[in-house]
Amino acid sequence: MLITFDLGNTTTGVGVFQGKKLLADWKIKSDREKTADEFGIILCNLLVHAGLKCEKLSGAIISSVVPPLTPIIQQACEKFFGLKPLVIGPGLKTGISILYENPAEVGADRIVGAVAAFEKYGGPCLVVDFGTATTFDAISEKGEYLGGAIAPGVLISAEALYLKTAKLPRIEVRKPKTAIGRTTVASMQSGLYFGYVGLVNNIISEMSRELKAKPKVIATGGLASLVVEDIKSLDFVEPNLVLEGLRIIYEKNKRAEKK
């Protein structure tokens, strides 16, 4: 079995694969204060709860946008599972050409999501990842990572309204009944929800125009469910896209080792 880690700013996605089958997946808090021992105990408990045996794990791979957390998860894997994880970064084969001016600037999760999207759906395609930030990634017909866009996530925007104004409250982000709000909370929800939907739709439209072809649009990320019903240009919703990409990259590198 393979255990995969998608270390994000707010949460960490964990998935366990048997071949191509995702046996179990979880979201845990990306807590930089936890030790390797604490993470190891959490992971062991999750595996046991899912009816999976820790000793059956044969490989591990990590994608991280939280550098301080990466060595902690590495240590947990080594101590509790006896595994030295692969880490997405220079020297690891991804099978995708990165056409960013500085490839090292691209978040590991964005590359991994692009790999999975192209593998599953071909190109051209766009990946919209609804996380702490919302990222948009364009992949060409040839499978080249072209670049993309980064926007504040909807929860960041909601928190900014609360923190940076004197009288606006902290609210739940959800679709309001009407765009014309009749209370402060409803007005905020309208601005956040419909403004965010407009942002996503417009960026997809602009990127599609620049690609000069209709791309397949794939949504992923923990916050996708908040707005996907009103993003009309979405073709697929893949909650575990990055975990799938990690599996694909792990298999590519293991095959390369055998040659």
* From 6, 109, 129, 137, active-site residue: 109
- C-alpha to C-alpha distance for 36 and 13, rounded to whole angstroms: 16
Q: From edge to edge, which strands make up the β-sheet containing 133-139?
A: 97-98, 144-152, 133-139, 125-130, 216-220, 236-237
Please confirm, yes or no, whether 109 is among the known catalytic residues. yes
> Nearest-CA neighbor of 18 among 204, 253, 259, 250?
250
Q: Mind telling me the catalytic residues?
A: 109
